[in-house]
Amino acid sequence: MRVKTKTTTKRDKRDKFLPARKRLCRFCVHKIRTIDYKDIKTLEAFIRERGKIISVRNSGNCAKHQRMVSVAIKKARFISLLPYTRV
């Protein structure tokens, strides 16, 4: 007769050793209300080297500020302040 044993996954192992840490939105921390499409240095931090916009999971932004960042990036691309793709 075979006995079933519980298998551990990578997530179970990780949860044992690392405490859950809350990610903070950098715009909420600094109390920034608007994100300007002309501020290229700030927007470049949210674009990968190939030109894709970084997701909420990776950037750590809240939903409100992530929407503002994506709209600002799209405006800056339209005006040619930022490239659409980088090769």
pLDDT at residue 9 greater than cutoff 70: no
Question: What's the average model confidence in pLDDT over 21-50?
Answer: 92
Q: What is the rounded end-to-end Cα distance, in angstroms, of the chain?
A: 59
Q: Which CATH number fits domain 23-78: 4.10.640.10, 2.60.40.1220, 3.40.50.300, 3.50.50.60?
A: 4.10.640.10
Q: Count Cα atoms within 13 angstroms, Cβ side, for 63.
A: 0
pLDDT at residue 15 greater than cutoff 70: no
Q: Nearest Cα to 50, choosing from 86, 79, 5?
A: 86
Residue 2: what pLDDT? 72
Q: Which residue has the tokens 């932004």?
A: 61
For the chain, the domains span 23-78
Question: What's the average model confidence in pLDDT over 8-33?
Answer: 78
- By residue count, the chain amounts to 87
Q: Nearest Cα to 74, choosing from 50, 33, 46?
A: 46
Token couple for 9: 């996954």
Q: Which residue has the tokens 């903070």?
A: 24
Q: pLDDT tens, 39-87?
A: 999 999 999 999 999 999 999 999 999 999 999 999 999 999 999 998 7
Question: What's the average model confidence in pLDDT over 10-34?
Answer: 79
